[in-house]
């Protein structure tokens, strides 16, 4: 095998390794984001519901 072919194969292997590492990093980030997402949404929803209830009670008392 020529040195040029060995260099090409080495470069290709390095690139494939980089892509695999990047893919794993993105998967970890995605998994971490998916695991944390329900809590903030529930918190935000709870705040919105409390605000609506507070606003609704204000409207009722002003009548």
3-state secondary structure 1-61: CCHHHHHHHHHHHHHHHHHHHHHHHHHHHHHHHHHHCHHHHHHHHHHHHHHHHHHHHHHHH
Distance CA 49, CA 56 (A): 10
Domain count, the chain: 1
Cβ of 11: how many Cβ atoms within 10 Å?
10
pLDDT, average across residues 9-25: 97
- What distance in Å separates the CA atoms of residue 50 and residue 43, rounded to the nearest whole number? 11
Average pLDDT over residues 8-26: 97
Q: What is the extent of the structural domain holding 38? A: 3-62
16-44 average pLDDT score: 81
pTM score: 0.48
């Amino acid at each position: 095998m020529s040195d040029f072919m060995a260099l090409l194969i080495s470069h290709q292997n390095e690139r494939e390794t980089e892509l695999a590492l990047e893919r794993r990093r993105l998967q970890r980030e995605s998994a971490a984001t998916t695991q944390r997402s329900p809590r903030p949404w529930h918190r935000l929803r709870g705040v919105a519901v409390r605000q609506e209830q507070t606003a609704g009670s204000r409207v009722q008392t002003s009548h």
